[in-house]
Structure 1
Amino acid sequence: MSELKDRIEEVKASQNWNDTQMANAAGVNRSAVAQWAGKGSKIIRTIGDVEVALNLERATGYSALWIAKGTGPKMAKERIASEFWPFASIDDRKVRALDPARERMQLEAAILLAAAQLGLDVKKQDGE
């Protein structure tokens, strides 16, 4: 298991990100990223907020668990490779890169339309 600071530097380097860009992707402030990287007076050894780790997974493809704790497969794709994904022709990297304000909504609409044509109910229920 590697140190959090090493994992953070690897993820940042893979995306050509600075601390601010990583903070924006993770949904935290820049000082949190500095602490993860061992640059502040307070050194953090794990990312305890699951949502923060998942934000980084969605933005980079690195596994949230690997980023946060240094365990499990490094890449999220390796973790979910055996799970059913009915859209094999869709590049998951392109999906992650979508502009959440526009293209993501178009993709969700297309998925809902395709599911409806197949008779699948994939809409969320109220309260989910």
Structure 2
Amino acid sequence: MRLHMSELKDRIEKLKAVMAWNDTQMAKAAGVSRSAVSQWAGKGSKIIHTIGDVEVALNLERETGYSALWIAKGVGPETAKDRVSAESWPFSSIDNQKVRALDPDRERMQLETAILLSAAQLGLDVKKDEG
């Protein structure tokens, strides 16, 4: 399922509702301060529109099952289970064998998320290489 929620505050409110979290609980799960969560939610004087720290997005993915890229940027599959699998890895310049050799629970997810977050920050349209 591909949902696009353009506002970080909407995605944060959804996660909080689904997980029945308050700001303090979300902050603990993400590894950030409570004020950072408030800024994500559009409260206070400083409002943040994306989560730029890959580790924070990955922490939330592990805790919620929602995709780190979707949480951070609002793009791609909403849940981690809907993400592109290693068998259909879209980056032809990255050796599939090296990617498959990475620890699937941490290293491969970090590499994939870092590349996708970087591509999204650059405004690149990442497509699977059919050749």
TM exceeding 0.5: yes
Q: TM-score, normalised by structure 1?
A: 0.62
Q: How many residues align?
A: 84
- Return the alpha-carbon distance in structure 1 between the equivalents of residues 70 and 45 of structure 2: 24
Residue among 12, 17, 29 paired with 2:16: 12
Unaligned runs of 5+ in 1: 85-121, 123-128
Deviation at 1:40, TM superposition (A): 1.2
SS at match of 2:83: helix
Which runs of 4 or more aligned residues in structure 1 lie more than 6 Å from their structure 2 counterparts after TM superposition? Answer: none
Deviation at 1:52, TM superposition (A): 0.2
Counterpart AA for 2:32:
V
Which residue number corresponds to residue 45 of structure 2? Answer: 41
Which residue number corresponds to residue 70 of structure 1? Answer: 74
SS at match of 1:73: coil
- Return the alpha-carbon distance in structure 2 between the equivalents of residues 70 and 52 of structure 1: 15
Deviation at 1:83, TM superposition (A): 4.0
1:1-128 correspondence to structure 2 within 5 Å: 1-2=4-5, 3-80=7-84, 82-83=85-86
Q: TM-score, normalised by structure 2?
A: 0.61
- Return the alpha-carbon distance in structure 1 between the equivalents of residues 86 and 73 of structure 2: 22
- Return the alpha-carbon distance in structure 1 between the equivalents of residues 57 and 28 of structure 2: 12
Rg larger in structure = 1
Unaligned runs of 5+ in 2: 88-102, 104-131
Higher relative CO (Cα under 8 Å, sequence separation at least 6) belongs to: 2
Counterpart AA for 1:13:
A
- Report Cα offsets for 1:23-74 as digits up to 9, x if no partner: 0000000000000000110000000000000000000000000000000000
What fraction of aligned residue pairs are identical, expressed as a percent?
A: 76
